[in-house]
Chain A
Amino acid sequence: MVGTPLTPSTTTAKNTALVSCHSCHLLCRPRASSNSRRIQCPRCGAPLHQRKPRSVTRTWALLGAAAICYVPANVLPATRAISFGNVQTDTIMSGVLYFINTGMWPIALVIFVASICVPLLKLSILSFLLISVHRHSAWRPRERTRFYRLTEAVGRWSMVDIYVITISVALVRLGSVAVFEAGPGIVFFGAVVVLTMLAAMSFDPRLIWDNKESRNDRTENRTTLD
């Protein structure tokens, strides 16, 4: 699979009043007369937008909600295991520590990366991207786009802990011998995963490049003025 060089133009769809469909990538020219509200893609029927609607506001809102849920997700107990009369409640982090102490460090690593690192990474990368868009930054758009792709790719792996708990809950139902229950912490953790996934979906990476173009236009104007 080798990338084949294409003939790129020097302009974007936005600058030529074209709209690329979010869903099927058909390039459309909306009629000037038509009301700008609710234009549909002629091929797949998806609503057409120049950019994802209110992308920055929506992403901030979802990200804020995720950051709030991140606290109870890590503070409240995620699991409660009762075996032979002993009750052991664990948060996500104390679960990781338990695995380290019992010598199961590969599991500890998987859970630590998926449940602690990945959500933090997503929260910080998306905040960084949003701030850079706010500030009309022209700093390394290609690398910033790569960061965005990374958040989209790794987000789903946070679900691992939820699945581990689901399977444990299903298997350990041996009545009086052992009981395994999921706690409220895992509900907030699920909310973090879903909210950060929605935040990544509502962010429009083209905003990163829009800034670059408006910068270029400004500098060009300045040079012509000089």
Chain B
Amino acid sequence: MSASRMIACHECDLLHRTRPLPVGTQARCTRCGAVLYSHRRNSLDRTLALNIAGLILFALANSFPFLAMKLEGQSQQIVLLTGIRELYRQGLTEMAFLVLLTTIIAPLVQLTGLLYVLLPLRLDRVPPAVWRVFRWVRRLQPWSMLEVFMLGILVALVKLAKMAEVVPGISLFCFFGLIYVLAAISASLDPQRVWEKWWEHR
């Protein structure tokens, strides 16, 4: 049923005959310039290593306070979930859910899902329903917005620094690390390679 060794551009539908690429290069559509596929160095190993680092940083970032504010002798420490809980308490359930989805659920599903897919594939095994899990990992990716959240933290820091003393907490640094790791994961993950590998081992 499949026409192998051919690929259609996902942005303009032009057919191309595929061929192996040198390491570290990518193939672009000759008509619209979209990236068709790429050959990344040790894609599976690198992504897996980054993924484990990401899970550790995620756990740290969510268990320690990430900002504290001092005003008039009172001190207030917050973890990430505080803001979400506060929005929920103020009756803005939709907003609370949106922030929860984009800063906690989507990154967490992405990291655990990728681990579930990559670790067995690395050991030449195929976990059950791997295709469904990987498809969801890819689908949720646009909703994982930690890098935007980081910019939000910076803006809030500058803004609130005028009102009171704001002290960065330990998990803020874990957040910085996590954003770097997530960017590195999307730069090293080669989805085409994952699909092919699972197709071979099926």
List A residues at the B interface (Cβ < 8 Å): 1-9, 11-14, 16, 18, 20, 22-31, 42-46, 83, 99, 102, 104, 106-107, 110-111, 141-142, 145-146, 148-149, 152, 156-157, 159-164, 166-175, 177-178, 181-182, 186-187, 190-191, 194, 197, 201, 205-206, 208-210
CA distance A173 to B95 in the complex (A): 18
Bound CA span A26–B71, Å = 58
Cβ contact within 8 Å between B98 and A174:
no
Does the CB pair A1–B24 fall under 8 Å? yes
Chain B residues with CB under 8 Å of A152's CB are 142
CB distance A6 to B67 under 8 Å? no
Docked Cα-Cα span, A13 to B92, in Å, equals 46
A-B contact pairs, 5 of them (CB 8 A): A18-B15, A20-B13, A27-B6, A27-B15, A208-B12
Majority DSSP secondary structure for residues of B touching A: mixed
By size class, the interface of chain B is: 35 or more
Given A142-B31, A167-B67, CB of A177 within 8 Å of CB of B195: no
Given contacts A13-B8, A157-B148, 19 further A-B contacts (CB under 8 A): A6-B19, A7-B19, A12-B13, A20-B8, A27-B4, A28-B2, A45-B132, A46-B135, A141-B12, A146-B33, A160-B151, A162-B99, A163-B149, A166-B84, A168-B160, A172-B163, A182-B92, A187-B94, A205-B32
Contact B17–A166 (Cβ < 8 Å): no
Residue of B nearest to A205 (CB): B11
Beta-carbon contact of A43 and B199 below 8 Å: yes
Are A145 and B78 in touch, CB under 8 angstroms?
no
| Chain A residues, Cβ within 8 Å of B76 | 171, 173-174
Among residues of B, the one whose C-beta sits closest to the C-beta of A1 is B26
B159 CB-CB contact with A under 8 Å: yes
Q: Are A159 and B3 in contact (CB under 8 A)?
A: no
Residues of B within 8 A of A171 (CB): 67, 69, 76, 78, 156, 160, 166
